[in-house]
Amino acid sequence: MKGKINYSVTDGIAILEVDNPPVNPLSDGVRHGLIESMEKAESDDSVVGIVLTGKGRSFIAGADISEFGQQIEGPSIHDAFEKIEKSTKPVIAAINGSALGGGLETALCCHYRVSSKQGFIGLPEVNLGLLPGAGGTQRLPRLVGPAEALKIMLSGRHIPAVKALDMGVIDSLSEGDIVEDAVAFAKDVAEKNETHPLVRNLNEKVLAARGDENIISEARALAAKTRKGQFAPGKIIQCVEEAINLDDFDEGMKKEAEYFIECLLNPQREAMIHIFFGERAASKINDVPKETPKMDINKAGIIGSGTMGGGIAMCFANIGIPVHIVDQDEENLKKGLAAIERNYKFMVDRGRMSAEQMEKTFGLISSGLSYEEISDVDIVIEAVYENLDLKLEIFKKLDEAVKDDAILASNTSGLDVDALADCTKRPGKVVGTHFFSPANVMRLLEVVRGEKTSNETLATIMSLGKVLKKAPVVSLNAPGFIGNRMLFGYTTQANKLLLEGALPHQVDSALENFGMSMGPFRMLDLVGLDLGWRARKLSGTESPITAKINDALCDLDRYGQKNGKGFYNYVEGSRAPHPAPENEAIYEQVSKDNGFERREISDQEIIDRCILALVNEGAKILEEGVAQRSGDMDVVGDMDVVYINGYGFPIWRGGPMQYANMEGLDVISAKIDEFAKNDPEFWQKADLIGSLSEVKGRFGDAPAPEDRKPVSGFNKSSVAGNL
Ligand code: T1G
């Protein structure tokens, strides 16, 4: 069995310590131990009260997520909770750290809740495609009211103890030793109170909400806005409706259990748990030992004050690390700092930070024109536009100007990191740190491992990524790394569909209905149609067929959002895309000039061709080993984590590789074979898809061929070809 309860008695108070490192999930050993310990305390006459706490940095981090989808052993969570609720002696939850999901539900079964200042609570099950299935949907509304409870469960956010005290979730805050204070609290209530409150009996707030339709309609609106396409939020709302309308608490619990099963059986649960564990696995690099020393990063430098440079600087300032931006142009610097200030003002206006917090955070960002100003920083991130010669020049200068043990990182989205390393005297300190725009919002951080990047540099960047609240994923130094390499096929298909007869809004709405946060043509308008166009003009390269329409638009000064017209039209000050019927004549002319006969195209064909292009390229990355980790399942996880956190792929589908696994690789294989009949050059199916589909296998099944060698080599044209 996994986990246990450490039982002891102090001053007539039984202390039950959940011991299941590192974060004390309610695994079978813990459930079993809880029942045993409660019975022991109940039957010990010398015991007048019970304190439940957690060992280490967590109280209880919820049910054991790794058990979902498995055959559950031992007693259920409900069996354990019944023992707590039926205790004749006061039970105090001493929240010493994270009390999440089933962890908070355990505390809600106790008579009283005391927390340390470090404690935090939450019901984040929605992030796993589940709902709080151990009474959270029935008990929390009784404590904080249905409206607030819905916000907590639909957001899945963590609530610090001080706030939880204000909300009435916890009864008192411990300033000292949480267990000592909880024991004192238990002795006090055991002495003074005849009876002890149970949340299940607090009906006032749910009764008061009866008939107030706004609560439910507002929750539905919130779910539609923040949880588009997800199944569990609707079930959470139904549970709270039951809590409001049913007189009998246990009837509500039955309904909760019913809806919980529906979530458990819904494929979104497997997909979202795949990402939960995928993100945690991605942070471990197999051949970099856990104990590898890491550098302390106390000060950072950024080269370039453009959109990316500014966003990256905000990431450091947001967690309290002073950051200095260097640019060669005073005007650029002014514009860059003004953009950062605007972003912070926007957050203050939206109530996401106070004016004092803004002043303190923005105050950590300084700027200047000389490299000497960053000679003492621990890391420098170069974030200038994509030009290898310019970056080489910058890295040579940085190597001279910055202290020897500082890390030199590049925000390149696809250029050769080894070339940057080789122009310095510290190749072990050179690494790629590919942030995604807007860098202060997007969670993905592609960490590009060069041939000479040291373990210490990698370990430092991976832990820095976590501190910056990013999802770091390692890629080997190969063209386009993981994300952009997969994206190449996706945008190629989108552009081919445009040539064959689809329109930008049709392609975008088909993929947004599939769940993508933004369709490819809205994305190209956001990034700027002129980026690739200028690069091709600069290098004098012929537009590839898939960029013909893009370049025809640029020839008519349609560069996208930046100048209010691209594939869509935009009004001043708004990012909302408006149809551009005037472009259709261009599409028809370019199709005709390039021998395409335009035809009706279904949304399903659009989805299949764009998403399967991602899957097919992902399978080749798997075959080649670019996502540098040994276990196939790990690599599948990496690619899915990349697409969820960097490219707006719907989390409830688990990423392109998980999506393919759930569709069935035989189905995927057959569709690619079909597409290959019309476009054999593009649809070269990955061998892995063929071999796995024959055995009804899944990505992640195949054992990793130990002698994988990444196919590398940077010819510039392949990167510029499709932007
Ligand atoms: N079950 C199993 N393993 C878990 C776990 C859990 N609940 N939580 C964490 N782990 C593992 C994790 O995979 C990692 O493993 C290690 O612990 C450290 O985690 C009935 C249905 C608590 C805020 O959603 O949010 O209760 O990689 O790296 O950054 O209603 O873990 O080392 O092998 O994330 O310090 C609801 C999930 C469950 C909370 C700590 N609970 N956990 O963050 O450490 S569903 C959650 C977290 C439920 C009931 C329902 C975080 C954390 P490994 P970590 P961290």
Give 64 Cα–ligand 1 centroid separation in angstroms. Answer: 8
Nearest to 242 by CA among 154, 136, 157: 136
Chunked mean pLDDT (size 10), the chain, 723 residues:
97 98 97 98 98 98 94 91 97 98 98 97 98 98 98 97 97 97 98 96 97 97 97 98 97 98 97 94 88 96 96 97 96 95 92 93 97 97 94 97 98 95 98 95 95 96 95 91 94 97 98 97 93 85 91 95 95 91 97 96 98 96 69 75 96 97 96 97 95 91 53 46 37
**Ligand 1 atom nearest 98 alpha carbon:** 22
**Ligand 1 atom nearest 66 alpha carbon:** 2
Burial of 3-34, coded b for 16+ CB within 10 Å and e otherwise, reads bbbeeeeeebbbbbbbbbeebbbbbbbbbbbb
| pLDDT confidence of residue 627 | 58
Burial of 577-614, coded b for 16+ CB within 10 Å and e otherwise, reads beebeebeebbeebbeeeebebeebeeebbbbbbbbbb
| pLDDT confidence of residue 537 | 86
Nearest to 89 by CA among 202, 200, 193, 199: 193
| pLDDT confidence of residue 633 | 60
| pLDDT confidence of residue 284 | 86
Name residue 121's beta-bridge partners.
Answer: 99, 159
Task: Name all residues whose Cβ lies below 6 A of ligand 1.
Answer: 22-23, 25, 58, 61-66, 77, 98, 100-102, 105, 124-125, 128, 130, 132-134, 136, 277, 280
User: Cis omega (within 30 of 0) on the bond before 21?
Assistant: no
If you search the block for the tokens 């953009």, which residue do you land on?
339
**Active-site annotation holds for 605:** no
Tokens describing residue 680: 């054999």
The pTM score is 0.93
Q: Is 247 exposed, middle or buried (0-12, 13-18, 19+ CB in 10 A)?
A: exposed
Beta strand 91-95 pairing with 112-116: parallel
CA-nearest residue, atom 37 of ligand 1: 61
Rounded Cα–Cα distance for residues 262 and 133 (Å): 11
Give 286 Cα–ligand 1 centroid separation in angstroms. Answer: 21
| pLDDT confidence of residue 626 | 61
**Hey, is 610 helix, strand or coil?**
helix
Give 268 Cα–ligand 1 centroid separation in angstroms. Answer: 18
**Ligand 1 atom nearest 156 alpha carbon:** 24
Q: List the catalytic residue out of 17, 125, 270, 512.
A: 125
**Sign (positive or negative) of CA dihedral 662, 665, 670, 674:** positive
**Ligand 1 atom nearest 466 alpha carbon:** 29
CA-nearest residue, atom 54 of ligand 1: 280
CA-nearest residue, atom 10 of ligand 1: 23
| pLDDT confidence of residue 717 | 41
* Rounded (10°) angle between helices 483-500 and 632-646: 60
**Ligand 1 atom nearest 123 alpha carbon:** 36
User: Cis omega (within 30 of 0) on the bond before 438?
Assistant: yes
CB 227 within 8 A of CB 126: yes
| pLDDT confidence of residue 147 | 98
Q: List the catalytic residue out of 105, 241, 242, 605.
A: 105
Mutate to test the pocket of ligand 1, among 23, 270, 638 (most ligand atoms within 8 A of CB): 23
Give 31 Cα–ligand 1 centroid separation in angstroms. Answer: 17
Give 639 Cα–ligand 1 centroid separation in angstroms. Answer: 21
CA-nearest residue, atom 27 of ligand 1: 280
CA-nearest residue, atom 43 of ligand 1: 23
CA-nearest residue, atom 8 of ligand 1: 61
**Ligand 1 atom nearest 77 alpha carbon:** 20
CA-nearest residue, atom 49 of ligand 1: 102
**Active-site annotation holds for 330:** no
Triad 102, 103, 108: Cα angle to 5°: 90
| pLDDT confidence of residue 427 | 98
Give 61 Cα–ligand 1 centroid separation in angstroms. Answer: 6
| pLDDT confidence of residue 72 | 81
Give 127 Cα–ligand 1 centroid separation in angstroms. Answer: 11
Please, how many CA atoms are within 13 Å of residue 155, restricted to the half-sphere of its CB?
11
Give 447 Cα–ligand 1 centroid separation in angstroms. Answer: 24
**Ligand 1 atom nearest 65 alpha carbon:** 1
Give 94 Cα–ligand 1 centroid separation in angstroms. Answer: 19
**Ligand 1 atom nearest 57 alpha carbon:** 35
Give 23 Cα–ligand 1 centroid separation in angstroms. Answer: 7
One-letter identity of residue 517:
S
Rounded Cα–Cα distance for residues 454 and 287 (Å): 11
Give 156 Cα–ligand 1 centroid separation in angstroms. Answer: 13
Name residue 50's beta-bridge partners.
Answer: 14, 91
Give 605 Cα–ligand 1 centroid separation in angstroms. Answer: 38
CA-nearest residue, atom 28 of ligand 1: 280
**Ligand 1 atom nearest 130 alpha carbon:** 21
| pLDDT confidence of residue 722 | 38
Rounded Cα–Cα distance for residues 575 and 577 (Å): 6
Mutate to test the pocket of ligand 1, among 65, 152, 443, 469 (most ligand atoms within 8 A of CB): 65
The dihedral formed by the CA atoms of 675, 681, 687 and 688, expressed in degrees to the nearest 10: -60
CA-nearest residue, atom 52 of ligand 1: 61
CA-nearest residue, atom 42 of ligand 1: 61
